[in-house]
Structure formats: C-alpha cells, structure tokens
C-alpha cells in the first residue's frame, strides 16, 4: 500500500487498483465529536459518489465503506488540467450539468478533480460535496471551476464558453446559474 496524497481531511492510499481514503483524526476536537464528524462525512461522501454515478456522472465505484474509510476504484487516468481542450471543457459542462440536475454540488470543482480515462471524464474527490439545489451553491461550484480555468489555462475564455455549451445541454437552469456566476465574480471584484 502506497500513500499517494495527504490533505487536511484525509490520507489517500493506493493498494492494487483500489483507492483507500481515510479521514484523519483531528486532535483539537473532542474525541466523540471528531469521530461523529468523520463517520458522518465519510458516509455522506460515499453516498454522494454513488448518487452522482446513478445520475450519469462517471465516478469511482465504491467497493467498501467503514466508519472512517472509503475503498473505491482507482481511476488510472490523466488529470484534466494536463490535457484540457475546448471539447473536454464542453464534456465537463455536461457532467456538471448532470450533477447539478441531481441536486449535488461538488464543492471542489477543479481540473485536478476530473480525470480522463479511455475517452471518458470521471469526477473524483467528493470530500466537500453536498446536496443543495440553490442558485448560489451551483453558481459557486461553477465559479470555482472558472477560476481554475483562468489561473491555469491561457485559453480560459474559450474553455469557459465551451463549458457553458455543455452545461446548458444537460442542466435546465443553466442561464440562471451563469447569471449568478457573473454576480459572484462581481462581488469578488468589489469586495
């Protein structure tokens, strides 16, 4: 077993073709509260990954869930950030549209959390995901992705336009969400 990533919330290990995501203990929290939070977040993350998959969004297949650990399929692909094109941005829009149609907000929508494998895009890392059908939550989700485009890709305007096309294809309220994204951007500029 090899540790491939370590963050504030979890350690990610790879064993064969299985990812093991373990939520780490926070020593500053009371033990009972810490365990309750980690157990709940682990359960919710696994549930949302499975729910997204049922909604037509490719995600890793969940193999096992325990109190603080999720074992899931390893998507051995390339991070979208390394290969993004307008065509892939459009496909990303379709995926996010399906996700939002199901009422799921990813919470960390970046080109590092989208993998490309065998001609297909997969959404990974649902650690910050939650259920929310509000315009604001969906707008923030898309805004985070657009910020990623802008900070890491020179052709970010083209990528954004391509994303919008795909998003509108699979999400009925796409125009309202894009309007909210513009409001969020304006708030950021004048804050």
Tens digit of pLDDT for each residue in 138-179? 999 999 999 999 998 889 999 999 999 999 999 999 999 999
Read off the pLDDT of each residue in 99-112 and give the average, rounded to a whole number. 97
Regarding whether 141 and 64 lie in a shared domain, the answer is no
Residue 135: which pLDDT band, with cuts at 50, 70 and 90? very high
> Would you put residue 103 in left (φ > 0), alpha (ψ -120 to 50) or beta?
left
Residues 103 and 127 in one domain: yes
Instruction: Name beta bridge partners: 84.
Output: none
Beta bridge partners of 10: 23
Do residues 132 and 101 share a domain? yes
Alpha helices in the chain (DSSP H): 31-54, 86-101, 135-152, 156-170, 174-190
Is residue 101 domain-shared with residue 174, that is, in the same domain? yes
The CATH number for 106's domain is 1.10.510.10
Q: What are the residue numbers of the active site?
A: 108
CA distance 7 to 11: 6
Going by pLDDT thresholds of 50, 70 and 90, the confidence category of residue 98 is: very high
Q: How far apart are the first and last CA of the chain?
A: 46
In tens, the pLDDT along 60-95 reads 999 999 999 999 999 999 999 999 999 999 999 999
What range defines the domain where residue 133 resides?
Answer: 78-190
Specify whether the backbone of 16 is left (phi greater than 0), alpha (psi in -120 to 50) or beta.
left
Say yes or no: 60 and 101 in one domain: no
d(CA 124, CA 73): 10
153 and 78 in contact (C-beta within 8 Å)? no
Is it the case that residue 129 has pLDDT exceeding 60? yes
Q: What's this model's pTM, rounded to 2 decimal places?
A: 0.92
* pLDDT attached to residue 178: 97
């Amino acid at each position: 077993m090899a540790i491939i990533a370590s963050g504030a919330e979890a350690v990610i290990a790879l064993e064969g073709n299985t990812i093991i995501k373990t939520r780490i203990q926070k020593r500053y929290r009371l033990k009972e509260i810490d365990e309750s939070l980690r157990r709940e977040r682990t359960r919710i993350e696994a549930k949302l990954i499975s729910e997204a998959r049922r909604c037509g969004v490719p995600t890793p297949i969940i193999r096992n869930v325990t109190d603080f650990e999720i074992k899931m399929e390893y998507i051995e692909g390339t991070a979208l950030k390394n290969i993004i094109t307008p065509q892939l941005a459009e496909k990303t829009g379709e995926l996010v549209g399906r996700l939002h149609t199901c009422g799921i907000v990813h919470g960390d929508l970046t080109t590092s959390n989208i993998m490309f494998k065998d001609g297909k895009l997969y959404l990974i890392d649902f650690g910050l995901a939650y259920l929310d059908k509000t315009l604001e939550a969906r707008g923030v989700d898309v805004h985070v992705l657009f910020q990623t485009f802008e900070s890491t890709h020179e052709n970010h305007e083209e990528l954004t336009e391509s994303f919008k096309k795909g998003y509108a294809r699979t999400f009925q309220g796409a125009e309202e969400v894009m309007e909210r994204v513009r409001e969020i951007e304006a708030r950021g500029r004048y804050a």
